[in-house]
Amino acid sequence: MKIAMKAKRPVTIAAALAVVAGVAWLVWRGFSTPTLPEGILEGHGRIEAIEVAITPKVPGRIVEMPAREGDRVSKADFLALLSAEELDHRLAQARARIASADALLRMREEETRASTREAEARLAAARERLQQARERIQTLTHHAERARADHQRNRDLVSKGFISERQLASSENALRQTEGELAEASRVEAAARAEVEVARASHDGIARQSPALLKSLAEEAAATRAAYQEIEVSRAELRVVAPLAGTVVTKAAEAGELASPGRPLLVLADLERPYLRVYVPERDIGKVKLGDPARVYVDSFPNRPFEAVVTEVAKKAEFTPKDVHMPDERVTLVYSVKLEIRNPQGLLKPGMPADAVIRWKPEAPWGK
C-alpha cells in the first residue's frame, strides 16, 4: 500500500507544474504586446497641429470679437475689430501736415518763379545798357579820331599861316569834348558790365539754389503723405482677419479689452492636417522614407484607423523623449518621424495620445 502511494506522488507534482506553466503562458500571452508583421514599424506620441497665434499689428480697444472656441473659419474671415479713435486723430494731424507742406511748396515755387523772372529781367536790362554803352563808345571813338585828325590838320595849317589861331583853338576844344564824352562812355560801359555780372550772379544763384530748396520741400511733402498712408494702413489693420483656414482653439481676449501687438487675441489650428511625431530606433530608421503610408489610432476611436503619410524624417538621433509610452525605451537613441494625418471631419484634436504603425514594405499587412 505504501509503495503505491509513493509512485503516485511524482505524477501529481508533474501535473501541477504543467497547469502552472499553462496559466503562466496564458497570462503572458494575454498581457504581452503582439508581434508586428514584417514591414511594419510602431510608434507612439501625441496629436499636434499647426497653430497660429493671431495678434494685432496696432494697439486698440477691442470693439467686436464674435469668434468662439471651436469655430471653424476660412481664410480672410473677420475675427476682430479694434477702436480707431487714436488713429483717426493721427490721420487728422497728418492731413493738416500735408496741407501745410503742400502750401509751403506752392509758395516757394511761386516765389522762385517770380525771383527767376525778376533776375532774368534785370540781367536783360543790364545787357541792354551794356550794349548801348558799347555802341556809344564805338560812335564816340570814331568822332574822337576825326576830331584828332582835324585838330592835327589845323595845327599844320596854322604853322603855314592858312588858318587863324582861333580856328585851331576851336578844333582843340572839339577834340577835348569828344575825348571827355568817350571817357564818360567808357565809365558807363564799365558800370554796365559790372551790373551784368551782378545780375548774372543773382540769376545763376537762383537757378542753382532753387531746385535744391524745392526738392527738399517736395521731399518733405512726400514724407508727410507717406506718413499719412502708413497711418491709413494701420487703420486698415484694425480689422483683424484670419490669415489661414483653421479652427479657433484658444480665445485669449474679449470685447472691451485693450489689445496690443505681441499679445494674442486668438489661436487658430489647422485641424484638417494634424500630425503625429513618433520616434523610431536607430536600427530601424533606415527602413523609413518620405511618403511611406501610416495609420494612426486614438483611444476615442480604437477601431478606426486614420490614414497618414511620412512627411519628415529627422537627420540626427536624439534620446527618446520622456513622454514616450514605453519606459524601457526612454534611454535609447531614436530618430523623430513626422506623420501628417488626414482628419477631414476634425475628430483628432491636439494633445490626444495616439499610436501609429508605419508600413515600409508595400506588401506587408497592417496587422492592426
Q: What mean pLDDT is predicted for residues 131-156?
A: 90
Backbone CA torsion sign across 329, 332, 338, 339: negative
Q: Per-residue pLDDT averaged across 76-100, rounded?
A: 90
Residue ranges per structural domain of the chain: 54-83+238-268, 86-234
Q: Which fold has domain 54-83+238-268?
A: OB fold (Dihydrolipoamide Acetyltransferase, E2P) (2.40.50)
User: What pLDDT sits at residue 167?
Assistant: 86
Supply the pLDDT for residue 22.
37
When pLDDT is cut at 50, 70 and 90, the band that residue 189 belongs to is very high
**227 versus 3: which is more confidently predicted?**
227
Confidence band, pLDDT 50/70/90 cuts, at residue 323: low
Question: For helices 85-160 and 165-236, what crossing angle results, to 10°?
Answer: 170
Interval 267-319: pLDDT, tens: 999 888 899 999 999 999 999 999 999 999 999 999 899 999 999 999 998 87
Range 216-221 average pLDDT: 92
Say what the pLDDT of residue 66 is.
Answer: 94
**Residue 322 — pLDDT band, cuts 50, 70, 90?**
low
What are 329-341's pLDDT values in tens digits?
A: 555 789 999 999 9
| Residue 20 reports pLDDT greater than 60 | no
Q: How many helices (H) and strands (E) does the chain have?
A: 4, 15
Q: Does the pLDDT value for residue 151 go beyond 60?
A: yes
Please give the backbone phi and psi of residue 174, each rounded to the nearest 5 degrees, phi first. -65, -40
Tens digits of residue pLDDT in 94-124: 999 999 999 999 999 999 999 999 999 999 9
The owner of cell 504543467 is 18
Integer Cα distance of 238 and 232 in angstroms: 10
The torsion defined by the Cα of 92, 95, 99 and 101, in degrees rounded to 10, comes to 110
Q: What does the pLDDT read at residue 5?
A: 39
Cα–Cα distance list, 186 to 14, 182, 193, 195, 221 (Å) = 152, 6, 10, 14, 52
76-108: burial string, b at 16+ Cβ within 10 Å, e else: eeebbbbebebbeebbeebeebbeebbeebeeb
Interval 140-150 mean pLDDT = 90
Name the residue type at position 360. W
User: What is the distance in angstroms between the CA of the first residue and the CA of the last residue of the chain?
Assistant: 59
Closest among 102, 62, 94 to 78, alpha carbons compared: 62
Q: What is the pLDDT of residue 40?
A: 95
Single-letter residue type at 173:
N
Dump pLDDT digits (tens) for 21-75: 333 433 333 344 457 899 999 999 999 999 999 999 888 899 999 999 989 999 9
Q: Can you read off the three cell numbers belonging to residue 326?
A: 514605453
Q: What's the whole-model pTM score?
A: 0.52
Cα–Cα distances in Å, from 169 out to 155, 163, 200?
9, 11, 46
Q: What is the DSSP letter of 33?
A: P
The C-alpha cell that represents 317 in the structure block: 538621433
- Please, what is the average pLDDT of the chain? 85
Q: Could you tell me which of 40, 49, 17, 31 has the C-alpha nearest to residue 269?
A: 49
Query: Given this model, what pLDDT does residue 96 score?
Result: 93
| Alpha helices (runs of H) in the chain, residue ranges in sequence order | 2-31, 85-160, 165-236, 282-285
The matching CATH number, chosen from 3.40.50.2000, 3.90.105.10, 3.40.50.300, 1.10.287.620, for 86-234 is 1.10.287.620
DSSP character string of 184-197 = HHHHHHHHHHHHHH
Write down the residue that cell numbers 467686436 correspond to: 64
C-alpha cell belonging to residue 190: 564799365
**What are the φ/ψ torsions at residue 132 (nearest 5 degrees)?**
-65, -40
